[in-house]
Amino acid sequence: MRIDIHCHAIGKGTDITKIDTEVYFNAEDNQHWFTRILYNVLEEDLTGMGRDSDRDGMISTDEYFKLLYRLLVSSEEIDCVVLLALDAVYKDDTVDVIKTDLWVSNKFLANKVRALNNLLQGESDLKERNKKFYLGASVNPNNPRAMQELEGVISNPDAVLIKWIPSAQHIDVQNVKDDFYRVLSAHNMPLLCHVGPEYSFPEGIRNKNKDDFRRLRKPLDLGVKVIAAHCASPVFPLIDPNVMADFHSLMEEYNTDDDVRLWADTSALSLSTRLPVISEIINTFPAKWLVHGTDFPIPIDGWPHLPLVTRNITPKEYLTILKTKNPFDRDVKIKRAHGFSDAILENAKKVLRLPSISIS
Ligand SMILES: [Zn+2]
């Protein structure tokens, strides 16, 4: 089973009281110049995929989920996608509305995942019927109801991981109370945690120190399996510090041959700005410690991965990448051409809390 463990749920709701039934997205009260540009690029990218069915110039929440469904059904490389929720920012036991730019609640996303899976069940093609969406839940430990929320998530068999972006969600990973981590560990629920530079959220840019991978020691010491996003690699290699060797040392410390506690994902490694560090990533991290992720809708552009100048990509591979319209498939083909092992596509089952029911 080939799983993309890192795909964002996004949407366009602007009413923060409706988070049970809609995505809340409003960065206008908290914008940073970089995210202003990025959000415009994403919107253009998505409308370019022809998903703006009512042609109002923007992608609604509904249109976005229809796009995800189409992409998974038509994918030749991917069988399952983990959709990621994102909990709010909390301050003094209440939601910090200004600092919360994107809020995808577990309740909203659990319902969406169920509905999408029901649709898949109705497909006539067996291969499509066997595909599945999973819930990547998000519980901010600063939420005064965090433990109840966590229990609710754990009782949902579709929930396969907990997702945090510590900078964007104001989470101090090393100061979260032990109980929270003990519950994750007891239920084999892995933590997918952003580490390294974060440019997708204004708060991410402002709170870089919260995304330091060294903070992961606490959950690891309490028995939680952790997936560090993007291999802790720089987004802009000329600006961001390169800490990959140190991160690799931490992986060596926590992993043995038959017990991998600290994983890294390959999400957003197709991003053109990361081209200069791709070889180093492949040479540093063994495939047995990596899980596949796209970071969709972060752009997956094929054209910058030029043959010959880019590691060992051949003109034939380059043409195949350019011809591949489905971004999930394009991402797999880009990584394959760079030399990432296909074994990475199969590793998710070793770390996700997958339901034991077999897919028929
Ligand atoms: Zn991401």
| 113-129 tens-digit pLDDT | 999 999 999 999 999 99
Q: Which one, of 330, 357, 341, lies nearest residue 78 by Cα?
A: 330
333 CA from centroid of ligand 1 (Å): 19
Is pLDDT of 360 > 50?
no
126 CA from centroid of ligand 1 (Å): 30
Q: Which one, of 225, 242, 234, lies nearest residue 347 by Cα?
A: 225
8 CA from centroid of ligand 1 (Å): 6
Is pLDDT of 41 > 90?
no
341 CA from centroid of ligand 1 (Å): 21
134-148 pLDDT, tens digit per residue, is 999 999 999 999 999
Is pLDDT of 83 > 50?
yes
144 CA from centroid of ligand 1 (Å): 25
193 CA from centroid of ligand 1 (Å): 9
266 CA from centroid of ligand 1 (Å): 10
Q: How confident is the model at residue 196 (pLDDT cuts 50, 70, 90)?
A: confident
CB atoms within 10 A of CB 294: 27
**Lowest mean per-residue pLDDT among 70-74, 155-159, 217-221, 310-314:** 310-314
179 CA from centroid of ligand 1 (Å): 26
Is pLDDT of 76 > 90?
yes
- Kindly report the average pLDDT of the chain as a whole number: 91
7 CA from centroid of ligand 1 (Å): 7
185 CA from centroid of ligand 1 (Å): 23
Q: What is the pLDDT of residue 87?
A: 98
Q: Model-level pTM?
A: 0.93
107 CA from centroid of ligand 1 (Å): 20
360 CA from centroid of ligand 1 (Å): 30
165 CA from centroid of ligand 1 (Å): 8
> 332 to each of 1, 116, 136, 196, 292, how far by Cα in Å?
14, 23, 21, 22, 9
124 CA from centroid of ligand 1 (Å): 32
Share of the chain above pLDDT 90, in %: 73
38 CA from centroid of ligand 1 (Å): 14
Which of 45 and 255 is assigned the larger pLDDT?
255
Q: How confident is the model at residue 79 (pLDDT cuts 50, 70, 90)?
A: very high
**Lowest mean per-residue pLDDT among 2-6, 149-153, 161-165, 240-244:** 240-244
Residues 6 or more apart whose Cβ sits within 8 Å of residue 102: 10, 23, 24, 25, 27, 86, 168, 201
Q: What is the mean pLDDT of residues 199-227?
A: 91
63 CA from centroid of ligand 1 (Å): 20
Q: Tokens 């540093």 label which residue? A: 284
Tokens read off for 262: 């600290």
164 CA from centroid of ligand 1 (Å): 10
Angle at which helix 61-74 crosses helix 106-121, to 10 degrees, equals 40
Q: Tokens 């600290």 label which residue? A: 262
Backbone angles phi, psi at 126, to 5 degrees: -60, -40
Is pLDDT of 357 > 60?
no
CB atoms within 10 A of CB 85: 27
Is pLDDT of 359 > 50?
no
Is pLDDT of 186 > 80?
yes
Q: What is the pLDDT of residue 55?
A: 66
249 CA from centroid of ligand 1 (Å): 23
**Lowest mean per-residue pLDDT among 120-124, 200-204, 257-261:** 200-204
Domains and their CATH numbers in the chain: 3-350 (3.20.20.140)
328 CA from centroid of ligand 1 (Å): 14
12 CA from centroid of ligand 1 (Å): 18
Is pLDDT of 296 > 80?
yes
Q: How far apart are CA 184 and CA 192, in angstroms?
A: 12
235 CA from centroid of ligand 1 (Å): 12
Q: How confident is the model at residue 53 (pLDDT cuts 50, 70, 90)?
A: low
Rg of the chain over CA atoms, in angstroms?
A: 19
Is pLDDT of 46 > 90?
no
356 CA from centroid of ligand 1 (Å): 27
State which amino acid sits at residue 164: W
Q: What is the pLDDT of residue 144?
A: 96
308 CA from centroid of ligand 1 (Å): 29
211 CA from centroid of ligand 1 (Å): 13
6 CA from centroid of ligand 1 (Å): 6
Beta partners for residue 25, in sequence order: 102
Q: How confident is the model at residue 37 (pLDDT cuts 50, 70, 90)?
A: low
Q: How far apart are CA 166 and CA 153, in angstroms?
A: 19
Characterize 246-282 residue by residue with b for buried, 16 or more Cβ atoms within 10 angstroms of its Cβ, and e for exposed. Answer: ebbebbeebbeeeebbbbbbbbbbbbebbbebbebbb
Q: What is the mean pLDDT of residues 317-341?
A: 95
Q: What is the pLDDT of residue 52?
A: 63
Q: What is the pLDDT of residue 338?
A: 92
